[in-house]
Structure 1
Amino acid sequence: MMINKAYEIYLTLEKHLQKRSVEEYIRDVNEYVTFLNENNLVISDFNITDLELYISRCKSRGLSSYALARKISSLRSFCRFLQLKEYRNDNPSTFLEQPKKGTIYPTVFSEEEVDSILELIDLSKPIGIRDRALFELIYSCGLRISEVASLTMESLFLNEGIIKIRGKGDKDRYVPIGDAAIYWLDVYLKDSRPKLMKSSCLSTFCFLNNRGQVLSRKGIWKNFKALLQKANLEGKVHTLRHSFATHLLKGGADLRSVQELLGHADISTTQVYTHYNTNELEDQYRKYHPYEN
């Protein structure tokens, strides 16, 4: 078995990484293997100097510290794999320095912008009702695009006002649904979804395309991009998730609760959203404090 394929199996079955993460790791490692081949090096012989030379070349291409940090993480993972599976006896990445990643604050929509996006959806067709329910749900529950795409009918508990989400690492969490999302989901499930269903393709997934098959991540992204163009706004589907977290914290929710709702393993990932509240507090201070006027 080729090493790259063995590494892919290792990431998927032993490390339980999501498909997208596996693809990123494999892409980084393939790029490094190409570098080795160009320099007449093999997997069993490269050393820390070779790793540092490769990273130096990546830096010369103008990669951000975030991109460099990801490549180094990929190389470290690959080297651990090589040692673990006895392709080599040592781990040359042990002393590879990790660059500090600058804090990247996510883009968010204002509450008014979220409303304007949702109001632009054409409700005259079943796919319009579907999209209204879909994007209402993403914003109401702070879902990742992969989570909403894989949502099944058996994961909906509308009478109880909750849904079960299968998140990263195949971890389940239960998330409450807002009234608006419940309303549009009910309309979609009773009226529009039956019209999208095909007798030859009885899907258990909640959101379907016009062929009766599961609505793909690409399809969700494409439909949302069209809405953003109409609204003259910049962002992604994931921006609705960022907005969900930011608006909750702005409204007074505690950080730990937002962490649980988002399915973050580490609260430091959630803390990035407090940046907006800090900025708002500063604006309010400068606006109303008597010594600032």
Structure 2
Amino acid sequence: MPALVVSAGERASVRFLEFFASAIRNPHTRRAYARAVGDFLDWCAGAGVSSITAVQPLHVAAWIERQTQSLSAPTVRQRLAAIRHLFDWLVTGQIVPHNPAASVRGPSHTTKKGKTPVLDATEARQLLDSIDVTTPIGLRDRALIALMVFSFARVGAALAMRVEDVYVQQRRLWVRLREKGGKAHAMPCHHTLEAYLHEYLEQTGLRDEPTGPLFRTIARGTGQLSTTPLPQANAYAMVRRRALAAGIGTAIGNHTFRATGITAYLRNGGTLENAAAMANHASTRTTQLYDRRHDDISLDEVERIRV
């Protein structure tokens, strides 16, 4: 518990804990907000603020100004949002009379294209073909990467899947994803993904465990799947390791495959509206951030500079 919260009394301490336990359900958001709030309160303590009830707009503004010197604008805006939400919660709990972050503006930020590294179709195929699928871990890794490419799934939704979330409907294999905000989303499988998932489920025997996690860690010393869901950090390490082994120089991450799939779909005649529906985006403006078709145009134009 931060010292500035403790000094405000027991009611403030309980309300502070309730903010993270009750008001924020997403674990990733909770982690990011806790980090931002901890940094802010540590800075306030160093600046001589005696209690969380003594925080003023000037303190928030000074901290935000320091953040902009070392962090990107989106990160600073997220951190300011964390402070605003916390103090809103404290105001409604009658711990503080007003929100000191309400009047503080964050840095401006406008973007029309995301920063996620993207693979072209040849590189994506190269990566999938490079995986040795004679072992359970190879079958798992190929199925996970293909799921993210061909269904535009977020890695969090993919890793939260159970075996029963791969099912047959209308004579096709479908996948059921639980996306951010608790939104359920179902998609038919691309024929390549269907083949990979069938092989993964059959050869590992997972079909007999419908309520178990679909993607699992490997039991130590056995080379076989455990009963533990694969953590997101492990999936990231796997992706980087597989890319290196396949000779891919792009510094990819888990989100790369979502952007790769969307770009490949649009490049082959798909519509932005359908891409948004397949990716479970509320707006096509979000989907446009994943569209990297214009990267090829830029590269071609750069080569026109002949000196």
Q: Same fold judged by TM-score > 0.5? A: yes
8 Å contact from structure 1 (residues 146, 217) kept in 2: yes
In structure 2, the residue corresponding to 1:226 is in which secondary structure?
Answer: helix
Could you tell me which amino acid in structure 2 is paired with residue 125 of structure 1? T
Of the three residues 192, 195, 202, the one matched with 1:180 is 192
Identical residues among aligned pairs (%): 19
Alignment of 1:60-79 (within 5 A): 60=69, 62-79=70-87
Letter in 2 for 1:206: L
AA aligned opposite 1:48: P
CA distance in 2, matches of 1:202, 1:184: 18
Q: Does 1:236 align with 2:253?
A: yes
Q: What is the aligned counterpart of 1:22 among 30, 41, 50?
A: 30
Residue 103 of structure 2 is matched in structure 1 by 95
Q: 1:81 aligns with which of 89, 107, 114?
A: 89
Q: Secondary structure at the match of 2:52?
A: coil
Comparing both structures, which one devotes a greater share of its residues to helix? 1
> What residue ranges of structure 1 are gaps of 5+ in the alignment?
288-293
Please give the per-residue CA displacement for 1:131-188, whole angstroms capped at 9, x wherever unaligned.
Answer: 2222111211111111111111221124433211111011101122111110111111
1:1-293 correspondence runs (5 A): 1-12=13-24, 16=25, 18-38=26-46, 39-60=48-69, 62-103=70-111, 104-158=114-168, 159-194=171-206, 204-211=212-219, 212-213=226-227, 214-232=229-247, 233=249, 234-274=251-291, 276-280=292-296
Deviation string for 1:4-48 (max 9, x for gaps)? 422102333xxx4x1111110111011111122222332112111
Report if aligned partners of 2:164, 2:210 keep a CA contact under 8 Å in 1: no
**One-letter amino acid of the structure 1 residue matched with residue 241 of structure 2:** A
Cα 1:54/1:206, change in 2 over 3 Å: same
Q: Between Structure 1 and Structure 2, how many residues are aligned?
A: 278
Q: Which amino acid aligns with 1:161?
A: L
Flag structure 2 segments of 5+ consecutive residues without an equivalent.
1-12, 220-225
Q: 1:94 to 1:216 in 2, by over 3 A?
A: closer
Shift in Å, 1:94:
2.0
Q: Which moved more, 1:257-266 or 1:104-113?
A: 257-266
Kept in 2: contact 1:66–1:102 (CA 8 A): no
Q: Distance in 2 between matches of 1:286 and 1:37?
A: 51
